[in-house]
Amino acid sequence: MTTNTPGARLDELVQVALANQARVDQLTSELEDAQQALNRILRTDLPELLTEIGIDEVKLPDGTKITLTTGIDASIPDDKKSDAFVWMVENGYGALVRSEVKVVFGANEIDRATEAMGALQEHGMQAEIKMQVPPPTLKAWAKERLMAGEVPPPALFNVRAYDMARIKQPSKR
């Protein structure tokens, strides 16, 4: 027999929430494991096998196509960002670097906030400039540089090329 007292409903909802949280945690763990297994197959096992066989593309009897491609991982270490951005600007890649200005205002300074961008110095406000190259842009730039035979300075950039198998299944009609 279920009672509908607030205390009973509270207990029931808490138990359901905890069960759902446990299920989400389990599924998250399973997803991470499956992603690692998939990456191992696509980035290691299949590329090694295709290389061993001596092919970079194959079409299976069911129409599935497997192609060996090159993937790129690229990042800038946090402690090297400033130097990396300077290097990019000095070497003609400054257009890839995005800048963000962040201004902190006190309470009840909404009017000052709306006019601040044109008069920061005049109003004595402190501004923080945050620079970044969006990860997809950095990855595309690094791939382009490697394809052109240029290696971005390893002291400033973490760039790693790897073979990767791409699997395309035939469309189902």
Q: Are residues 23 and 38 in the same domain?
A: yes
pLDDT on residue 4: 84
Query: In this structure, how many other beta carbons lie within 10 angstroms of the beta carbon of residue 107?
Result: 5
Q: Are residues 93 and 127 in the same domain?
A: no
Q: What tokens appear for 38 in the block?
A: 């998939």
Q: Are residues 43 and 56 in the same domain?
A: yes
Q: Are residues 93 and 140 in the same domain?
A: yes
Question: Whole-prediction pTM value?
Answer: 0.64
pLDDT on residue 131: 80
Q: Are residues 69 and 141 in the same domain?
A: yes
Dihedral angle computed from the Cα positions of residues 9, 11, 17 and 19, in that order, rounded to the nearest 10 degrees:
-120
Query: In this structure, how many other beta carbons lie within 10 angstroms of the beta carbon of residue 146?
Result: 17
Residue 1 lies in a domain: no
Q: Are residues 64 and 103 in the same domain?
A: no
Residue 135, classed as helix, strand or coil, is: helix
Q: Are residues 54 and 111 in the same domain?
A: no
Domain count, the chain: 2
Q: Which range of residues forms the domain containing residue 146? A: 6-97+132-168
Scored b (16 or more CB within 10 A) or e, 154-164 reads eebbebeeebb
Residue 173 lies in a domain: no
Of 50, 72, 133, nearest to 97 by C-alpha is 133
Q: Are residues 164 and 136 in the same domain?
A: yes
User: pLDDT tens per residue, the chain (173 residues)?
Assistant: 456 899 999 999 999 999 999 999 999 999 999 999 999 999 999 999 999 999 999 999 999 999 999 999 999 999 999 999 999 999 999 999 988 877 777 767 777 666 666 666 666 666 666 788 999 999 999 999 999 999 999 999 999 999 999 999 998 77
